[in-house]
A and B are shown apart, each in its own frame.
Chain A
């Protein structure tokens, strides 16, 4: 019996063709078992190889809009520019506003506009890398589109995924948007200088986040007061050293 089209069990025909190809007008069953995101994941692996070869530690920054990703980057780039090399890929639906803010710190930056897209994918990052050529032995920040849902599913080839949450949001964000917290390794809790003015329960937030992902590591920071940034900076510095 022809395994590809099922012919041959209950009828006879001349074998003037070889089996294993499709017969025009006939059906063919393809047992594919292919990951739907295979294409993205292959490109992500390619990006990962690029990072490894150049000793670049890449960080995919994810959060809801307005949690302070760009502010955290501005502060980090300004404070550490004499100690570490950086490059930044900015993802937004429209405008180059964020790239302009990063550019003002003197850091190499590329803006990706996703148009109607709600997340970055590995293909976009690949093209951004080809255009910008980030320096070797550096840290590359990839600031994703502000969205706590969609970017969770797309591997960009990053070494670490950092989810940022601010104290002006609800402390239950980790269980409302578990996918993002599940796939991240680091959680930065931002704007802690505002804690006296908002009802945000920081311990509760961490408790929720650890339920989703017990391996999550936290940094509590304020880009305004500078509180907690030292720990964040030490962590970044260690990443480039340990990778060298």
Chain B
């Protein structure tokens, strides 16, 4: 359940931003959680409902952007979509791939009031 730690980090970030903006609560929060980030969304949702209680996020509308995994083959330079770290290059079958996208975990934006 590292998802709870993730949620609590988001609550900390939101609390800090709300205070800095002299606002009272978050109306909307936009998150970017890549498909290769290692976050299990059902666990995340469960942790979210628990984690935001009595916080500035308790009434917030949450939007999650989920970038898919993209990788570049180090052997043949092809770029392709991957769903698992062990997916090989579909062109040359190499496992020497570098991840271009999908591992991100960001708070993209907040609307506070």
Contacts and interface: CB of A to CB of B under 8 A. Distances in A.
Contacts of A40: 9
Interface stretch (A44-52, A77-85, A150-158, A198-206): A150-158
A25 B27 CA distance: 12
B112 A212 contact: no
15 contacts: A22-B112, A30-B21, A32-B108, A32-B109, A36-B106, A39-B13, A118-B2, A150-B2, A150-B5, A152-B38, A154-B2, A174-B86, A175-B84, A211-B95, A214-B96
A30 B2 contact: no
Contact of A36 (B9, B23, B27, B85): B9
Given A21-B22, A39-B12, A211-B88, A34 B107 contact: yes
A36 B6 contact: yes
Interface residues of A, number: 41
Interface in B10-26: 10, 12-13, 17, 21-23
Interface residues of B, number: 32
Given A22-B22, A36-B9, A150-B2, A27 B113 contact: yes
Interface string B83-106: 011101000000110000000111
A242 B70 CA distance: 35
Nearest to A35: B106
Contacts of A121: 5
A65 to B, nearest CB: 16
Given A150-B1, A150-B2, A174-B86, 6 more contacts: A27-B113, A29-B110, A33-B107, A36-B106, A119-B2, A149-B38
Interface of A: 21-22, 24-40, 117-119, 121, 149-154, 174-175, 178-179, 181-182, 208, 210-214
Contact of A30 (B6, B12, B17, B38): B17
B60 interface: no
Nearest to B99: A182
Given A34-B13, A154-B2, A178 B107 contact: no
A179 B9 contact: no
A28 B109 contact: no
A181 B86 CA distance: 10
Nearest to A209: B86
Interface of B: 1-2, 5-6, 9-10, 12-13, 17, 21-23, 27, 31, 37-38, 84-86, 88, 95-96, 104-113
Listed from nearest, the 9 A-B pairs whose CB atoms lie closest are A150-B2, A211-B86, A22-B21, A178-B85, A36-B105, A182-B85, A30-B110, A179-B38, A212-B86
Given A37-B9, A214-B95, A32 B22 contact: no
A214 to B, nearest CB: 5
